[in-house]
Amino acid sequence: MGKIRIVGDVSRKEYQIMEETSGEFKVKNASDNIDILKATSTTITDAKGVQLGSHGVRHRADGADPVFVVPFGSDASVSVSAGGTYTIPKGMHYVKCGASTKVQIYIGGAWTDYSAAGALVLVVSDGANARLFNTGTSAEASVLRRVA
């Protein structure tokens, strides 16, 4: 299973985005061993199991005051033509790919698969080096939800 490790410049805390099973992932504060988010192909929940579609505030694990407020945007459906691509806008997005669409990132001069077709993934985009790629034979929709 894949894992991305991020270390904060100021706090030096380690955060991880990891795939737990096919199509399911977790965002974790590894320094303090705290799960922040979990996602499946149909839901995104916080550490207490509350679906994020119902609120945009992240509380501490003990239910105390918010740690940070997430400015969730609304879902945006994006149609990608057969064999076509769509550049993911700058920002952090939850992306639910269409059945034949996958996320690719541009690394070392080549587009590289970042997800399987049909996956739900968290994407951090600079506005140029992350895209949706439809491998299917007809246009299909994918859904993006901006989270930061």
Q: What is the mean pLDDT of each run of 10 residues along the chain (148 residues)?
A: 74 80 77 78 69 53 52 80 96 91 94 93 91 96 86
d(CA 38, CA 55): 15
DSSP 115: S
Range(s) within the chain of domains with CATH label 2.60.120.10: 75-146
d(CA 1, CA 3): 7
Q: Beta 66-69 vs 57-59: how paired, if at all?
A: antiparallel
The H or E element spanning position 63 is none
d(CA 102, CA 118): 7
53-72 pLDDT, tens digit each: 554 545 555 555 554 445 56
For the domain bounded by 75-146, which CATH number is listed? 2.60.120.10
Q: pTM of the predicted model, to two decimals?
A: 0.56
What is the pLDDT, as a whole number, of residue 21? 74
- In the structure encoding, which two tokens stand for residue 85, read together? 């691509």
- In the structure encoding, which two tokens stand for residue 72, read together? 């969730």
What is the pLDDT, as a whole number, of residue 25? 79
